[in-house]
């Protein structure tokens, strides 16, 4: 038997928790918390739905035998919610939400830097960790990529290495912090 899930919140569906259509018939696609009388019960964006569902991380962990943090559960939802019927029709996520979901699926990132002559120079790096889409931890030690990035003051990155932190600030001003 195929497991059916709510096409709005991802909750497993059974005969006891299905939403209702206008004529009162059980919905084939949505749970009773998301859908009633042929309409959605909340006027949420996909991001708002993810935040709302994250409140139930403890219940999800108990039912599935998982041990996710709310942040881990949100990341998981960002990965599969775009395929759910309610959200697939039109991706209503903000640019930051879409970038964060895409970044979570990547193993490598390409940093578009500028060389000394002002020409773009894409550098592919192994992604280590991300926090949203504004903070990406990378392994620049392979093939000397870290050295090349440090040499480009306009790249606007924060580089860690050898016990000190070096910030490559804009306009060529570098600051060392110990």
What is the CA angle 37-7-82, rounded to 5?
135
Tens digits of residue pLDDT in 121-174: 776 667 666 776 666 666 655 545 556 555 655 554 444 443 444 444 433 344
Q: How confident is the model at residue 120 (pLDDT cuts 50, 70, 90)?
A: confident
Which residues are registered as beta bridge partners of 174? 168
pTM: 0.51
Q: How confident is the model at residue 28 (pLDDT cuts 50, 70, 90)?
A: very high
Give the separation between CA 109 and CA 131, rounded to whole angstroms.
Answer: 14
What pLDDT sits at residue 122?
Answer: 72
Let me know: does 55 contact 71? Beta carbons within 8 Å. no
Asked if residue 29 has pLDDT above 50, the reply is: yes
**Mean predicted lDDT score pLDDT of the chain:** 76
HSE of 37, CA atoms in CB hemisphere, 13 A:
2
């Amino acid at each position: 038997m195929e497991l059916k899930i709510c096409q709005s919140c991802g909750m497993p569906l059974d005969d006891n928790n299905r939403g209702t259509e206008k004529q009162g018939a059980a919905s084939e696609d949505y749970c009773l918390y998301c859908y009633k009388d042929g309409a959605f019960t909340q006027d949420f964006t996909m991001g708002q739905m993810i935040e709302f569902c994250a409140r139930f991380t403890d219940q999800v962990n108990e039912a599935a035998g998982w041990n996710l943090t709310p942040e881990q559960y949100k990341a998981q939802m960002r990965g599969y919610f775009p395929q759910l019927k309610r959200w697939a029709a039109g991706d209503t996520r903000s640019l930051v939400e879409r970038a964060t979901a895409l970044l979570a699926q990547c193993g490598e990132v390409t940093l578009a830097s500028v060389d000394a002559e002002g020409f773009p120079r894409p550098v592919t790096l192994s992604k280590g960790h991300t926090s949203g889409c504004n903070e990406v931890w990378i392994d620049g030690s392979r093939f000397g990529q870290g050295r090349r990035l440090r040499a480009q003051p306009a790249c606007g990155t924060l580089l860690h290495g050898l016990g000190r932190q070096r910030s490559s600030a804009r306009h060529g001003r570098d600051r060392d912090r110990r």
